């Protein structure tokens, strides 16, 4: 059981999470819609399931494991997408938007 935790932390959180973060950044940097993030992250989850099976003898076709991996990777990819999009909006349109926290931006009120 403890070995499964280490495999999860290493494969899903470290390797898969890093890939999911870069996927979210790449999609936001190329102005792709947010709806593309979950399918790409679920493909990464399938890849981490295969690696867990091939390298550590874990179950390949385990729905709970796939859903756990997928949930973590989708969350990481969506967070990276939103972080990158907020940064790009403020950097590209500084006369229109100001940063409003790490995940958002707000319009600069200049109509008065």
pLDDT one-digit tens code per residue, 26-71 = 999 999 999 999 999 999 999 999 999 999 988 899 999 999 999 9
Amino acid 112: pLDDT: 40
Amino acid 2: pLDDT: 56
- pLDDT for residue 3 is more than 70: no
Output the CA angle 77-40-33, nearest 5 degrees.
Answer: 75
Dihedral angle over CA of 8, 75, 30, 110, nearest 10:
-150
- The reply to whether the predicted model has a pTM over 0.85 is yes
Amino acid 4: pLDDT: 83
Amino acid 82: pLDDT: 97
Can you tell me the distance from the alpha carbon of 24 to that of 67, in angstroms, rounded to the nearest whole number?
A: 19
């Amino acid at each position: 059981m403890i070995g499964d935790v280490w495999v999860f932390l290493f494969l899903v959180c470290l390797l898969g999470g890093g890939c999911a973060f870069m996927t979210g950044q790449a999609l936001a940097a190329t102005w792709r819609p947010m709806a593309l993030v979950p399918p790409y992250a679920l493909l990464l989850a399938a890849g981490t399931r295969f690696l867990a099976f091939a390298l550590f003898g874990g179950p390949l076709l385990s729905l709970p494991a796939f859903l756990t991996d997928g949930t973590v990777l989708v969350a990481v990819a969506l967070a990276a997408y939103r972080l990158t999009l907020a940064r790009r909006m403020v950097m590209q349109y500084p006369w229109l938007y100001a940063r409003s926290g790490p995940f958002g931006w707000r319009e600069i009120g200049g109509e008065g």
